[in-house]
Amino acid sequence: MDCKIRIATNNDVKNLAILKQKVWDETYRGIYSDDIIDNFDYEESERMFKNIINNDKISLYVVESNKELVGYMDVGVPFRKFNNYEQEIGLLYLRKDFQKNGIGKKIFILAYNEIKSNGYNKFFISCNKYNINARKFYEKMGGQLVEEDEDNDNKRIVQVKYHYDVK
């Protein structure tokens, strides 16, 4: 599969929001309430992406195929502080039809190398506890489970965290 990975720009925010809703629908339908997915707030999502793009302590990458955004990933300072970690791979989303082709691994390694080149020796990743495919991927990439939230009626907020050493 021919894909290009590049740094996101403010021109991408609208398409990033559209992609985020599509990925949420593919990934979280049955985990998040239908109301959250069906009433997705595109404007809020665009603001979030714009804030990430304009934050010089975070890199947001997009994955393009035939000039269409099919994935994204951010790396840098944690969105939400966790223990004494100074780096995280934050959002890492890829459309289902582009998964299992090595693209996720490629953007994960890109983030890993960025963290390493910036002089850090560890990072973490959070994901929804019920997103089993993501969990398997993060474990395959060497992640060690370091925290798991208690179950909660709102499955949207139940997270797990994986630790990675940078060598």
SS3 of residue 44 by DSSP: helix
Q: Is residue 12 scored above 70 in pLDDT?
A: yes
Range of the domain at 98: 4-165
Domains identified in the chain, total number:
1
Backbone angles phi, psi at 65, to 5 degrees: -135, 125
Burial class (CB within 10 angstroms; exposed 0-12, middle 13-18, buried 19+) of 123 = buried
Residue type, 15: N
- CATH code for the domain in which residue 24 is found: 3.40.630.30
Q: How far apart are CA 71 and CA 93, in angstroms?
A: 5
Backbone angles phi, psi at 47, to 5 degrees: -60, -45
Is pTM beyond 0.85? Reply is: yes
Kindly report the number of other CB atoms within 10 A of residue 97's CB atom: 11
Q: What is the pLDDT of residues 55-74, one digit of tens each?
A: 999 999 999 999 999 999 99
Q: Could you give the percent of the chain with pLDDT greater than 90?
A: 88
Pairing of strands 122-128, 88-94: parallel
Report residue 150's pLDDT band, with 50, 70 and 90 as the boundaries.
confident
Cite the DSSP H helix spans in 10-131: 13-28, 34-38, 42-53, 103-117
Backbone angles phi, psi at 75, to 5 degrees: -145, 140
The answer to whether 1 and 63 have CB atoms below 8 angstroms apart is no
Higher pLDDT, 151 or 45: 45
